[in-house]
A and B are shown apart, each in its own frame.
Chain A
C-alpha cells in the first residue's frame, strides 16, 4: 500500500496544472473569475482547446482519438481541471453517446459521428426521460415505428439538458410493444434536431435558469441507418451510458476544491464581519464534510485502482453516486450559509463582463450560492435517484 503518486503521474500533474494555469485564455479566465455565465461558444472553444492538446476524450480508447490515460491520470486530470475552476466538459457527446457509438455502432456511424464529437462540431443532447417516467425509465412511451427505410418517432422527452444548443439528440424509443419485459423492444436512435416535427419547450428550473427542456416529436422521420446496434437492444446500450453518467456525477474533485476554497475563506474577514473560523458550529460542519469527502476520494481511488488492475469495480463503486451527490449538496449548503444574508438577493444578471465591479452585490459570487444550492437539489434526483441507487445496490451487491 502506498499513498503517493508515481513520479510519472506527478510529472503529468504538473503538465496539466501548467496548462490550466497558462492556456485557458484571458477572456475565459475573466468570465470564470467574475462568475459570468458561459455561452455555447465559450464551451465549444474551450473543448476545442482541450482537444487540440489531445486531452478531450479522456475515457475513449486511443484508436478513436481518446487519450489512453490510465485511470489515475484521468483522476489527476479531473482534479486539476477542478482546481483551476475550469469549465466542466459537456458530457452528452464525449462521455455519453460517444462510448455507445464506438462500442455498439457500425463503422459508418463511427466515421460519421465520432470525429465531430471529438472536435465539438456537433452538440449532443440526451433523450431518455419522459414526462411521467421519472426514475422508472423503462416505462418510456416514445414510439419509433418502422415505415420503409425510416422510423417514425412520436412522443415527448424531458429534462433535456441544454437541448436549446443541441444539433443532435440520442434517444431511447420503443420499436416493439409486444414484449415480455418492458426493458425489451427499446431501441437507441440518433436524431438530427433539425428534422421536421421536433419542437422544444424550455423548462425553467428553481433558480430561474433555462437549463432543461421538453422535446416533442411529432411524426419525425429518421433514417433507419441512425439506429445504433440491434433494434430492441437499446436498454442494454443505455445502461452502459448510465454507468458512465453515474461515475461522472460523483464530482469529488470539484467538491474538494470548493471545500479547500471555503476553508480559506473562513479565515478572512468578509464585509468586515468576524471570520467564520470563530464560529465553531460552522467549522465542525465544514470539518465533517471534509472527512466524508476524503473518504469518498479514496473510495473513488480504490475503484480506479481496481479498474487499472483489470478487476471489475467492487461494491465501493456503487456508492459513488449516492455519496458524491450527498457531499455536493453538503458543500452547497455550507456555501449558502457562509454567505448569510448575501445568499438572498436574486440578481443573477449582475454577473456580466461589462458590470462595474463596485456595483456587484455580495463578495465573490455570494448571491449565486443559494441558486446553486437550489439548482443542485437535482443531483440526488437525476441519473437514477439516490433511492433507486440504493435499490440497485440492495439487489446486485447485497443480493437482497
Chain B
C-alpha cells in the first residue's frame, strides 16, 4: 500500500505544474478557447515536445509506457489549468482505440502522427439515440467489394472540427445494442460523404455532429478484427473516464481553494464572509468532498493500473462520486462567490462548466450508480 508517485511520475507532475503555473493562466486559456480552432496548436506542439502526448502509449510504439496512474497525473493538472487542448479526444479516446486495435501499418499511419502531435484525431462513438450505451451503434458499415460503405450519424464527437482523421464506430453485424458486431474504421475528414457540423461546447471545448452518407473506405481502414471492437472501445472509454475524473479532482480542489480565499477577502456587513459559520460549514463540506473524491480516485486508478477484478466497478464508483460530489463543489463555489460566480469574467464560472460537463459525459452519476446497484 503506497500513495506516493514514483520518481518518473513525480517529474511528469512537476513539469506539467510548471507549465500551468508559468504559461497557462486563465486569460491565456480564454484566448485559446476563443480562437478559431478552440485551442492553441503551438501549445499542442509544446505538449508533444515535452512528451505528454506519448504518455499512455507502449514503449515499443515510442511511448512513455504510462497507464492509469500517469494519466491521472497529467489530467489532474490539466484540470487545475482548465486546459482546452484536445488531450481527451486525441490521446485518451482516439489514441486509446489505435493502441488497442491498430496493426503495425495502421500504427505507422495514424498512431505515430497522433503521438507526434502532427495530426489531429477524433473518436466518433456516440450517436443521437445511444446516450451512454456504447454498444448502441446504429451507424452501419456494409461490405461492397473491397470497400466498406458507412452510413449513420454521430454526435458529441470531441475535436471533430479539427480532426484530420476520425475513428468511427459502425455496426458490421448484429442488432443495434449488441456488444458483438461493432467495428471501428479510420475515416479521412475530407472523404466524400462526410459532413461535420462543428460547435463549441459549454465548457469551452470543441465537438461536432458527424453525418456519414455512403462513405467508402478500403479494408486498410478497418481497425482490429471485424465486429470485435467492443472490448477495446469499452477499455478506452473506461480509461478516458478515469482521466476526466482526475481532471475533475483537480478542478474541485482548485474551486475549493479559490472559494476559501475569496471568503477571506470578500467583506459584507463589515466582516469577511468567511467568518460566517453558515458558509464555513459549507466550505468544510466542499473540502470533504474533495478529499473523498481524491481518495476514491486513487483507489480506482490503482485498481485499474493493476487490472484487478474490481477495475470496472472502480470506474463506475469514481464516476458516480465525481458526478455527485463534483456537482456539489461546483455549485457551492458559484454560490459562495455570489453574483460574480455567474459572470463570464470569473474563472470560477468556467471551471464550474467544465466540472458539469465531466459529470455529463461517459455515463452520468445515475447511470453509473445503476451499474453498481446490480
Contact = CB atoms under 8 A, between A and B. Distances in A.
A binds B: yes
Nearest to A299: B295
Contacts of A394: 277, 280-281, 283-284
B274 A400 contact: yes
A298 B299 contact: yes
Interface string A272-314: 0000000010011011101110111111011001000000000
Nearest to A279: B373
Interface string B254-294: 00000010011000000000110100110111011001111
Contacts of A283: 373-374
A400 B301 contact: no
B302 interface: yes
Nearest to B374: A283
Interface string A157-182: 00000000000000000000000000
Interface stretch (B1-9, B174-182, B223-231): B1-9
Interface string A297-339: 1110110010000000001100100110000000000000000
Contacts of A302: 3, 295, 298
B373 A305 contact: no
Contacts of B301: 1
Interface string A1-28: 1111110010000000000000000000
Contact of A305 (B1, B5, B274, B281): B1
B338 to A, nearest CB: 17
Contacts of B280: 390-391, 394, 398, 400
A393 interface: yes
A4 B321 contact: no
Nearest to B283: A398
B287 A315 contact: yes
Contacts of B296: 291, 294-295, 298
Given A299-B291, A305-B2, A400 B373 contact: no
Nearest to B292: A295
Contact of B302 (A3, A291, A319): A3
A290 B374 CA distance: 13
Contacts of A391: 277, 280-281
A72 interface: yes
B369 interface: yes
Contacts of B320: 287-288, 291
A315 B1 CA distance: 20
A148 to B, nearest CB: 46
A400 B317 contact: no
A387 B282 CA distance: 11
A397 B370 CA distance: 35
A295 B321 contact: yes
Contacts of A316: 291, 294-295
A299 B321 CA distance: 14
B317 A294 contact: yes
B369 A399 contact: no
Interface in A126-184: none
A1 B5 contact: yes
A384 to B, nearest CB: 14
A299 B289 CA distance: 11
Interface in B1-36: 1-6, 9
Contacts of A305: 1-4
Given A286-B373, A295-B296, A1 B291 contact: no
Nearest to B288: A319
A296 B295 contact: yes
A295 B264 CA distance: 29
B305 interface: yes
Contacts of B285: 390
B73 to A, nearest CB: 10
Contacts of B275: 400
Contact of A1 (B281, B295, B302): B302
A110 B204 CA distance: 65
A338 to B, nearest CB: 14
Nearest to A286: B373
A287 B283 CA distance: 26
A323 B292 contact: yes
B317 A3 contact: no
Contacts of B6: 1
B303 interface: yes
B334 interface: no
B133 interface: no
B372 interface: yes
A390 B1 contact: no
Contacts of A322: 288
B2 A288 contact: no
Contacts of A286: 373
B111 interface: no
B291 A2 contact: no
A160 B277 CA distance: 30
B192 interface: no
B363 to A, nearest CB: 14
B208 to A, nearest CB: 34
Contact of A2 (B1, B292, B321, B372): B1
Given A5-B1, A9-B1, A288-B369, A319 B291 contact: yes
Contact of B321 (A280, A291, A398, A399): A291
A251 B264 CA distance: 34
Interface string A365-399: 00000000000000000000001001101100111
Contact of A398 (B1, B284, B306): B284
Contacts of A298: 295-296, 298-299
Contacts of B1: 2-6, 9, 72, 301, 305
B248 interface: no
B69 interface: yes
A400 B283 contact: yes
A230 B298 CA distance: 44
B245 to A, nearest CB: 12
Contacts of A295: 292-293, 295-296, 299, 321
B284 A299 contact: no
Given A6-B1, A297-B299, 6 more contacts: A1-B298, A291-B372, A294-B299, A299-B295, A305-B1, A397-B284
Interface of B: 1-6, 9, 69, 260, 263-264, 274-275, 277, 280-281, 283-285, 287-288, 291-296, 298-299, 301-303, 305-306, 308, 317, 320-321, 369-370, 372-374
23 contacts: A1-B2, A3-B305, A3-B306, A4-B1, A5-B1, A72-B1, A284-B372, A286-B373, A287-B372, A294-B296, A295-B296, A297-B299, A302-B298, A305-B1, A305-B4, A316-B291, A316-B295, A319-B291, A391-B281, A393-B287, A394-B281, A398-B280, A400-B280
